Structure formats: structure tokens, C-alpha cells
């Protein structure tokens, strides 16, 4: 029996249209079936926000967002974040290309 509830129909349609995304873990090696890793990564930022009372401006939010992204990406890639930030600032001061934190490995 099909639902006559508009929101239920919309949800079912959306799930159907995203079937390939929802089942990617079954079709591609290395794709986990849960988002636990993403939840763990985000929890650090949430805890920081709660302990520091967040930011009070758009610029402050972008600053924190960028720094937390660099820190977590560096952590996942076993990169020394302070070295990366130092090299980035030196490149900016010398008007040379900044180092890349991401590579073309698709990660």
C-alpha cells in the first residue's frame, strides 16, 4: 500500500533517488557502512565549541572552521600541523606557493 502522506512520499522518493549513494559501501571497497568516523571527527569540534562558547562573528567562525579542518586533516594524514602552518605562513610572506595538505590520492 502506498502512503498518501506527502512528507512520507517525498522522503521515500528522495531515498529511492539516492539509492546508489546509500549503498555505496556495498559497491566500493573501502567505503564504511556507517558514518561513525565522521561523527568522531565532528565531536572534537562540537566539544571545542561548547567549552569555548563558540565565536561571535562570521570571520571568527570561518577562522575556527579553517583551523579545525587543517588540524583534523593533518591528524588523519599523520602530518605535523605546526610545521604545515609554519610553512604556509612562510610561503605567504615570501609570495611563493603554499604547501598542499591534500594530495591527488582522492582522499
Point out the least confidently predicted range of 23-27, 95-99, 102-106: 102-106
C-alpha cell at 69: 579542518
**pLDDT of amino acid 103:** 60
Residue 101 has pLDDT above 60, yes or no: yes
> pLDDT digit string (tens) for 45-92?
888 888 888 888 999 889 888 888 888 888 888 888 888 889 999 999
This prediction has a pTM of: 0.54
Question: How close are the terminal C-alpha atoms of the chain, in Å?
Answer: 43
Q: Specify whether the CB–CB gap between 72 and 61 falls below 8 A.
A: no
- DSSP secondary structure of 5-63: -HHHHHHHHHHHHTHHHHTHHHHSTT--SS-HHHHHHHHHHHHHHHHHT--SSHHHHHH
Amino acid at each position: 500500500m502506498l502512503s498518501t502522506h506527502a512528507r512520507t512520499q517525498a522522503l521515500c522518493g528522495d531515498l529511492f533517488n539516492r539509492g546508489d549513494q546509500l549503498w555505496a559501501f556495498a559497491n566500493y571497497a573501502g567505503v564504511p557502512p556507517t558514518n561513525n568516523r565522521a561523527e568522531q571527527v565532528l565531536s572534537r569540534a562540537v566539544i571545542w565549541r561548547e567549552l569555548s562558547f563558540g565565536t561571535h562573528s562570521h570571520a571568527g567562525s570561518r577562522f575556527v572552521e579553517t583551523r579545525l579542518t587543517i588540524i583534523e586533516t593533518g591528524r588523519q594524514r599523520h602530518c605535523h600541523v605546526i610545521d604545515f602552518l609554519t610553512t604556509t605562513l612562510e610561503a605567504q610572506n615570501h609570495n611563493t606557493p603554499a604547501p598542499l595538505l591534500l594530495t591527488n590520492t582522492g582522499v
